[in-house]
Amino acid sequence: MTYIWNRADRVDPKLMPKVIEDAFDKWTKEQYKNFQDLTEEKKQEVNYRVVVQMGKMHYNLRQLGYNKPALTMQESLNKIK
């Protein structure tokens, strides 16, 4: 299945990144619907799917310049000085 956050480059820049984050939040809530009723194995599958897609969303937003990567340890130390 193709998710909007995997095609973020096709989204109108005026709507970015809110539309991507809203779509991901809605999808995540749907994934966790009735979560408590699932077996432990199914819970792990759902969690894994959400984490993988979250990583893809953040990667795509970062590639388009909406999210900045975390600072390296050296960059953090330089900011303190």
- What pLDDT tens digit does each residue of the chain (81 aa) get? 789 989 999 999 999 999 999 999 999 999 999 999 999 999 999 999 999 999 999 899 989 998 776 667 777 777 676
Q: With beta carbons less than 8 A apart as the criterion, state whether 39 and 58 touch.
A: no
Number of domains in the chain: 1
Is residue 71 in some structural domain?
no
Is residue 20 in some structural domain?
yes
Global pTM?
0.79
Is residue 79 in some structural domain?
no
Q: Give the tokens for residue 63.
A: 């590639």
Is residue 78 in some structural domain?
no
